[in-house]
């Protein structure tokens, strides 16, 4: 996990989606991107994080909560 870096905008995207429970339309409007661009970025963030050695074995639900706690809160 120490090899994973997330930009401030990426942290904002993840926080808004998982903590504040906003949909991609709202997030796109707030961050100034298209909805499809936000969805693609969200998927890329998850793939980047999942590719790290330390969390390959973690199931998705735990994984999301873990990421929120470590990188966003």
Banded pLDDT at 60 (limits 50, 70, 90)? low
What is residue 1's predicted lDDT score, i.e. its pLDDT? 39
What is residue 4's predicted lDDT score, i.e. its pLDDT? 58
User: Virtual CA dihedral for 47, 30, 6, 17, nearest 10 degrees?
Assistant: -50
Residues 4-13: pLDDT tens digits? 577 888 888 9
Q: 55 pLDDT exceeds 80?
A: no
d(CA 31, CA 9): 8
pTM metric for this prediction: 0.66
Write the DSSP symbol of residue 2: T
Residues 22-53: pLDDT tens digits? 999 999 999 999 999 999 999 988 888 776 65
Q: Compute the Cα dihedral for 63, 2, 16, 66 and give only its sign.
A: positive
From the list 35, 65, 38, 33, the residue with the least C-alpha distance to 49 is 65
């Amino acid at each position: 996990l120490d090899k994973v870096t997330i930009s401030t905008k990426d942290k904002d995207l993840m926080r808004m989606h998982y903590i504040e429970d906003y949909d991609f339309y709202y997030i796109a409007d707030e961050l100034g991107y298209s909805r499809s661009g936000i969805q693609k970025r969200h998927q890329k963030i998850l793939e980047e994080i999942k590719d790290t050695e330390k969390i390959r074995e973690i199931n998705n639900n735990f994984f999301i909560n873990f990421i929120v706690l470590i990188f966003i809160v």
